[in-house]
Structure 1
Amino acid sequence: MKRDVFQAIADPTRRAILVLLTAQAMTPNALAEQFQMSRQAVSKHIRILRECEVVEQQKAGREIYYHSRLDKMKEIDRWLEQFRQHWDSRFKQLDQVLTNLKAKQNET
């Protein structure tokens, strides 16, 4: 089963891992220290993040470091943009209605 980036952000723990990895590359042990769960549980989340291609691993000696792939996160941003544009338009309409109501109140 092919996973997509939306599965990566569907879980709060994976979102938290992504936030940490955006700041710096980390090992599984370093990540596990940030959560109240086992290294194995964190590794399962990392596996899903890798399958979603939002995290890559890089070997440095005997350690494996994970870092986020911001280019894949842009896929989420592009999808959300359609909603941003919609809501921006709606808020502009609301601003206009409120401005018109305020102008009418000032006239009376």
Structure 2
Amino acid sequence: SPEEFADYYEDISCGIGNDDYFELMIRNAWHLSGGEGWCENTSCRRVLVTHTHGGQTVQEIKNDLGIGPHDVEKMKANLEAQGITDIKSITLSDGTEMNTGAVKPKQKGKPKLHKGRSKNA
């Protein structure tokens, strides 16, 4: 219940000497977006969004609990619910770029040639 939550954290808060650190701890433990300065949440997933116009922005996946590390469709739906709708692709923290229309990662580097085919075929 909300009362139990408040009682629990009221007891813990007296052991933490800095209100900003306490805010950061609560935000990160519960994946609560927001905060300013060094109190800003750092536990919610952030992704690099390539927009349909070609620009890129780093976006926070708010309320990210339950979204797997490669579940690009849920990430896209989450971003769209936040009002970010011009998504061409999403790049994950491991550098994997995911097209938003497919769940397979885009191939990086040189294309692989099939046996028996030349580059010019």
* TM-score, scaled relative to structure 2: 0.24
* TM-score, scaled relative to structure 1: 0.26
- Highest RCO, 1 vs 2 (Cα 8 Å, sep ≥ 6): 1
More strand by share: 2
More helix by share: 1
Structure ID, larger Rg: 1
